[in-house]
């Protein structure tokens, strides 16, 4: 049985393929009228966690997609750390989420859309380059940024009014 793939899927880099998965997670946030942010965590070429923003759904200001996914990933690895993991997130993470990513021991962060109000990877503050911290993180920016920004615009265009 042949598996058909679009030209876009064949030409996509691994970062783009995983970001598309994160975008699918982000779309789930729209259904609950939450901020459309999705996260996929990959370890040794396997997706070990996937989550989307659930702040409104759970009435929990800390229920950001990255925080939920980090917990899932640590449980999947049966550890309090997720070494050698890559975190894919559709929007530049906030300070809370970058802090959690750094503390988790993940080694790479890949994000799509920048966040000029809360972004902690260079847009407002850059915790990933703070030499006073004892953790380092490779950051890849702007992966499928257009698609990620489009989803955020869709959220503000009437699906819900507050993100």
pLDDT averaged over 10-residue windows placed end to end, the chain, 163 residues: 52 93 95 93 98 95 98 98 97 98 97 97 95 92 97 76 42
Instruction: Tell me what pLDDT residue 118 has.
Output: 96
Six-digit token string for 60: 């929990």
Pick from 15, 14, 20: nearest CA to 151: 20
Pick from 84, 79, 49: nearest CA to 67: 49
d(C-alpha 87, C-alpha 19), whole Å: 10
Instruction: Tell me what pLDDT residue 163 has.
Output: 41
Instruction: Tell me what pLDDT residue 58 has.
Output: 94
d(C-alpha 91, C-alpha 38), whole Å: 8
Q: Kindly report whether the global pTM for this prediction surpasses the value 0.85.
A: yes
Q: Is 143 exposed, middle or buried (0-12, 13-18, 19+ CB in 10 A)?
A: buried
């Amino acid at each position: 049985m042949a598996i058909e793939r679009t030209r876009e899927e064949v030409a996509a880099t691994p970062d783009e393929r995983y970001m598309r998965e994160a975008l699918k997670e982000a779309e789930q946030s729209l259904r609950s009228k939450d901020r459309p942010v999705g996260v996929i965590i990959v370890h040794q070429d396997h997706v070990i966690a996937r989550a989307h923003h659930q702040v409104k759904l759970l009435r929990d200001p800390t229920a950001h997609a990255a925080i939920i996914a980090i917990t899932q990933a640590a449980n999947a690895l049966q550890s309090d750390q997720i070494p050698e993991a890559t975190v894919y997130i559709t929007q530049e993470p906030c300070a809370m989420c970058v802090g959690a990513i750094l503390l988790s021991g993940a080694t790479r962060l890949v994000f799509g859309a920048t966040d000029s109000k809360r972004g902690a990877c260079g847009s407002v503050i850059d915790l990933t380059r703070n030499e006073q911290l004892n953790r380092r993180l490779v950051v890849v920016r702007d992966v499928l940024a257009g698609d990620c920004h489009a989803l955020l615009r869709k959220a503000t265009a009437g699906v819900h009014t507050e993100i």
